[in-house]
A and B are shown apart, each in its own frame.
Chain A
Amino acid sequence: MTIRAIRYLPALLCALGATWALDCQRPAFAQQLDARDLGDGMELFQIRPNFHVLIGAGANVAVQVGVDGAVVVDSGDAAHADRLVAEIKKLTPNHLIRYVINTSADADHVGGNEKVSKIGKTLLGDSPFGGPPNDGAAAILAGGDILTRMSNAGYPEGAWPTELFVQPRKYMYLNDEGIEVLHQPSAHSDADSIIFFRRSDVVMAGDIIDIRRFPVIDLANGGSINGEIAALNRIVELAIPSIPIVSREAGTVVVPSHGRLLDQTDVVEYRDMVTIMRDRIQNLMKERKTLAQVKAADPALGYKERYGSDTGSWTTDMFVEAVFKSLAADKSKQR
């Protein structure tokens, strides 16, 4: 038996050698974006060597890993929190999560804050009042008035942001790259932030883009249509397509709050749609049409078939009404 095995060993080695040689000759373009189906509607994309996006756990979640510890953007909804924690642990074997950054105060973005931050460890030392802040868990960073919103909504203290900022731009340098947190006042709401990973060249757009539907303009929480368009234009400016070598599929990756991964061209398409919708409704308002008349004029024709819905939590009717009221509020401010 042993002698037989020895007989075929050279052939086996040669075959292995051949396999190695062949593997080296595979065309480079055969390498597609690495995606793994995690079941239960969850999917994990590795979009850069150290950058992962998890889709399907509420809002899209990003995990940037590196020597300084992981930075997680958004934490999904509460229902998926345990599952999300398990997946993040696989990506960060030492569980060294340093930051959870929220792009929005909505439940599907902050629902897993407490559980995700607790498996991490803050970069900060002990506070003057005793132990480290947030009981040593990873810091939770957010722009705008998220804290008030979350405390009013009854979230446990452990889920609240531990680092808040109100200036337009906050920056960090972790895992060998600059990370910009850009607060967009009055877009989807008053608590939107765009997170730009400069070396990874990834933009986390949060609820400013929901590629499945018209953007949700949360008027009750400070959102506005013109702020939304300004935020979309900012993302267009941040993203760079493959220019001048246009035949290459490359460029900045833009991750919306929900749905598929995007590039600048996709964002321009979405921005154009939102701008045209605003212009159409604004024009009807100039003709002194009431809200009911505006709705009856069907300003979403041509777009509602792609982004609209008659049912669910955000219908075409609700979007048209939000744009109308937002523009009316802007007009009354100008008076």
Chain B
Amino acid sequence: MFLNLVVDMASIRVRTIIAVVAGFVGILMAGHPAWAQFGPSEPDLSGSWLGLMGEDVPERAVPGPLPGDFTGLALNAAGKSLAASTSMARFTTIERQCALWPPQYLVLGPMPLKIAADTDPITGKTIAYRIGAWEDRATTVIWMDGRPHPSENAPHTKGGFETGKWQGNTLTTFTTHIKAGIIRRNGAQVSDRATLTTHYIINGDLLTILMFIDDPVYLSEPQAFSRDFRLINNANALSATGPPCIPSFEGAASDAVAHYLPGTNPMVGELKKQHGIPLEAAAGGAETMYPEYRKKLKDKYVRPEKCLSDCGPGFGPPPGVGPPGMGPPGAPPGGARGGPPGAPPGGKPPR
């Protein structure tokens, strides 16, 4: 009897010690979530991703898209009207200078991506990916924990509200609660009712981001954009936050709203002037996105005798030719969008 009691007490002590040790191990592990990451692995989006660019440099970086060039955009009648009435001078007001581009700028702009993962300390699972900000784009958070999207009364933020799920090597996300903003840096835009479906496709050290923008207000069908990135080894090469932005007075009163009255935007004819593209094609629309449109355009397109801009290497424009204000500092007054330094004046037309 006594012996049994001693054995029982000893058993209780051993179990208690085991329980205490297990508990403390639990606490220790809580501070080291990496220990818990032994489950089935899924791809990792985190890292520093460098944007790969080629012939899209003028579109994504400098000098930017040609004014009045809305080709390849699925704008409906309202979208075309809004794009044609938008003056980029509106972005010179104090209130607009630091307002940032919307989250779709991820695939529109030239900047690299710094992506970090936030993990659950218990399970080690990824709660969210954070795509770091740049000087003209806010932080984007991709929630991976299955949380629902907020109600329609919740604020629309600079980064939007994005949730995602892995399917193989592709992270597919859905973004709501974005602000109204551009889809091309020349005035084409979508409304605050737009949503984004984005596929982050990982293939080795390459990342392709394929984004579809749906906007019931300004687009007649989903607009697709894509962009490629390469993982770079130095994880600290990029910053996760953009630099501060300090707006300054640029001559526009804070209550000034720059815009073009219907039919008065002088930039609308720029594509016709530079490349002979008919106005109806330059205005964009879903039809202009597809190859069949070339047949329709065939009889209306008149190839310019000389290339005036964007002529490619060795095909620079003649001095003083090109849209005003498009050239680098010190360029001739007519601008110099096309040829590289030293290109022969009045270069040949592209093939």
Q: List residues of chain A with CB under 8 Å of any chain B CB.
A: 3, 6-8, 10-11, 13-15, 17-18, 21-22, 25, 27, 29-30, 32-33, 35, 37, 43, 45, 55-56, 229, 233, 236-237, 241, 243-247, 249, 253, 259-266, 268-269, 271-272, 275-276, 279-280, 283, 299, 301-306
Contacts and interface: CB of A to CB of B under 8 A. Distances in A.
A15 B26 contact: yes
Given A246-B242, A276-B85, A260 B155 contact: yes
Interface stretch (B95-103, B205-213, B275-283): B95-103
Nearest to A272: B257
B185 interface: no
A246 B138 contact: yes
A37 B121 contact: no
Given A17-B23, A263-B155, A301-B262, 17 more contacts: A7-B12, A7-B19, A14-B26, A18-B23, A18-B27, A18-B30, A21-B27, A35-B151, A229-B255, A236-B254, A241-B95, A244-B98, A272-B90, A276-B257, A299-B262, A301-B81, A302-B82
A324 B16 CA distance: 83
Contact of B98 (A30, A233, A246): A246
A182 B15 CA distance: 70
A10 to B, nearest CB: 5
A14 B138 contact: no
Given A17-B27, A264-B95, A305 B78 contact: yes
Interface stretch (B63-71, B156-164, B221-229, B302-310): B156-164
Interface stretch (B244-252, B293-301, B316-324, B330-338): B244-252
A244 B191 CA distance: 26
8 contacts: A11-B19, A14-B23, A55-B153, A243-B247, A246-B158, A249-B158, A253-B155, A263-B155
A35 B19 contact: no
A305 B218 contact: yes
A10 B23 contact: yes
Contacts of B20: 10-11, 14
A268 B23 contact: no
Contact of B217 (A11, A56, A305): A305
A236 B22 CA distance: 58
Interface centre among A56, A233, A253, A265 (most CB of B within 10 A): A265
A25 B261 contact: no
A241 B245 CA distance: 11
A304 B12 CA distance: 76
A7 B159 contact: no
Contacts of B128: 27, 29-30
B141 interface: yes
B60 interface: no
B156 A268 contact: no
Given A7-B19, A14-B19, A301-B81, A22 B257 contact: no
B156 A280 contact: no
Interface string B135-175: 10011010000000011111111110000000000000000
Nearest to A44: B153
Contacts of B135: 246
A272 B254 CA distance: 11
Given A29-B141, A233-B255, A306-B191, A243 B22 contact: no
Given A233-B254, A237-B254, A246 B259 contact: no
A306 B127 contact: no
Contact of B99 (A15, A30, A55, A265): A265
B111 to A, nearest CB: 13
Nearest to A274: B257
A202 to B, nearest CB: 12
A53 to B, nearest CB: 9
B31 interface: yes
Nearest to B18: A11
A145 B6 CA distance: 89
B139 A45 contact: no
Interface in B111-145: 118, 121-122, 127-128, 130, 133, 135, 138-139, 141
B273 to A, nearest CB: 24
A299 B259 CA distance: 14
A241 B27 contact: no
A269 B95 CA distance: 10
Interface in B91-109: 93, 95-96, 98-100
B30 A22 contact: yes
B110 to A, nearest CB: 18
B96 A268 contact: yes
B241 interface: yes
A279 B258 CA distance: 11
B179 interface: yes
Contacts of B35: none
A21 B98 contact: no
B95 A268 contact: yes
A264 B27 CA distance: 44
Interface string B5-28: 000000010011001101110110
Interface string B187-221: 00001110000000000000000000000011000
A259 B192 CA distance: 13
B78 A245 contact: no
B100 A302 contact: no
B159 A30 contact: no
Contacts of B247: 243
A246 B19 contact: no
B16 A22 contact: no
A238 B158 CA distance: 20
A140 to B, nearest CB: 26
B238 interface: no
Nearest to B81: A302
